[in-house]
Amino acid sequence: MPDQEPDPTQARTAADLTAVVGQLSRRLRAASPQGELTPTQRSALSRIAADGAATTAALARAELVRPQSMRLTLSHLEEQGLLERTPHPTDGRQVVFSVTAEGRRTLTSLRQSKQSWLAGAIADRLTPAEQRTLTEAAELLKRLAAEVPGGSTDASPDAYARQRVDDPYGTDTRAGK
């Protein structure tokens, strides 16, 4: 990040974008089935579904929460039948969590609800020219969001997943793991 202040136009664009992303996030949450999952539960379930089985500690690090908080989140997801625990393959003191078939169905339902609402809103509220502009803006937003934890500029969507390839259970305690 440069040490200089952004010009006023960039600062205003950043403020507007921050506000609209927050509003859009709230609308998408409202479009998904009520009472299904909290944002924290949805995030943890989505991460396990995307990245594979993981320990409580690995998930807590990835989600930037305390292990105690993640333990509560995972317990709730397990009680709902969305996650299952199995013994860690190399460390008998730990367990790993993976997504159940019901967990995958729930995630699919949540995503479909959000995407249906958004696709409908785009079709109903935007002209064809605005829809093309939005498609171009989505690509720009992907580039802005591509920075991965630790400041890497790896723009690929699988950057986080690649960080876990060598240690899918999150047992490596070296810095950056």
Helix boundaries (H) for 126-158: 128-145
What pLDDT does residue 99 have? 97
Per residue in 83-117, pLDDT (tens digit) is 999 998 888 888 999 999 999 999 999 999 999 99
CB atoms within 10 A of CB 77: 23
pLDDT of the chain along its 177 residues, tens only? Answer: 556 787 999 999 999 999 999 999 888 888 887 667 888 999 999 999 999 999 999 999 999 999 999 999 999 999 999 999 999 888 888 899 999 999 999 999 999 999 999 999 999 999 999 999 999 999 999 999 886 656 554 444 444 333 333 344 344 433 333
pLDDT at 31: 84
Three-state DSSP class for residue 168: coil
The structure's pTM equals: 0.67
Contact 56, 97 (CB under 8 A): yes
How many other C-beta atoms are found inside a 10 Å radius of the C-beta of residue 13?
A: 12
